[in-house]
Amino acid sequence: LAGGHEDGKVVVWNASTGAPTAGPFKLHDWVNSVAFSPSGDRIATSGYDQTIRVVYSHSGEDVIPAIQAHSDWVNSVVWSPNGQQIISASDDRTIKFWNSSDG
């Protein structure tokens, strides 16, 4: 289980015990969306800073550089079932598809 907060931090918890297992990781000014990759080893996040971040779920280290994704807040991110794409939606009224290995 992972969650983001208005302070820009993301925390990962053990869903069975509720104990934190990783984080907090400071990733944005404000976190709007957090999504685990299908394999569970990566997290995609989005924020008011118009970016998407893809980090390792155990360390918070960047998998790829931050993606300058939209011209307004990025409201939501989801992974494709095969984990090869990240889909984002924004207040700029667009939905975009990103390659998860290089943006």
With cut-offs at 50, 70 and 90, classify the pLDDT of residue 27: confident
For residue 21, the Cα-to-chain-centroid distance in whole angstroms is 17
Q: Report the C-alpha gap between 39 and 71 in whole angstroms.
A: 30
Neighbours of 7 (CB within 10 A): 11
Q: What is the mean pLDDT of the chain?
A: 91
With cut-offs at 50, 70 and 90, classify the pLDDT of residue 98: very high
Contacts of 7 (CB under 8 A, 6+ apart): 30
Q: Span 50-67, mean pLDDT?
A: 92
Is 87 within 8 Å of 80 (Cβ atoms)?
yes
Q: Report the C-alpha gap between 49 and 100 in whole angstroms.
A: 19
- The domains of the chain, with CATH numbers, are 2-99 (2.40.128)
Instruction: Please tell me whether the overall predicted TM-score, pTM, comes out greater than 0.85 for this model.
Output: yes
Residue 28, pLDDT above cutoff 80 = no
